[in-house]
Amino acid sequence: MSEILLVSAGGFLGAISRFAVSTQVQKRNRTSFPAGTLIVNLVGAFLLGLLIGLQIKGELYSLFGIGFMGAFTTFSTLMLESEQLKNTGKNLLFYSYIISSYLLGIGLALCGLLIGKMV
């Protein structure tokens, strides 16, 4: 039961954090490029890699790795925004968004993992 509460608390904090960060980034972005979601997902990829590299387990992983990161990052929004860019004919933004999300996301997750292992 305590694990459910930890995941729930982490999810609550992660969702609020995602909303706050994404909204602030998007306010500063004057284009239709979904920079808010990109930043949130890239930060999340790095932080999750870091947690894994630090070998965080148990309750702390339930709180941060599953709860917080699960709610902070958002694959579904990435897919929706990608489809919207594609459907509105913004092909350059579409490909930039998809490529940067995946390549930078994997790269930052790896960086976090390596940094975590070095600490």
Give residue 4's pLDDT band: very low, low, confident or very high (50, 70, 90): very high
Confidence of residue 31 (pLDDT cuts 50, 70, 90): confident
What pLDDT sits at residue 30? 85
**What are the boundaries of each domain within the chain?**
2-118
Give dist(CA 92, CA 90) in Å, integer.
Answer: 6
Checking if the pLDDT of 92 tops 80, the result is yes
Of the pLDDT bands very low, low, confident and very high (cuts 50, 70, 90), residue 1 is: confident
Mean pLDDT along residues 67-95: 96
Rounded to two decimals, the pTM is 0.93
Percent of the chain with pLDDT over 90: 96
What average pLDDT does this structure show over 79-108?
A: 97
**What are the φ/ψ torsions at residue 22 (nearest 5 degrees)?**
-60, -45
What is the percent of the chain with per-residue pLDDT over 70, rounded to a whole number?
100
Mean pLDDT of 62-81: 96
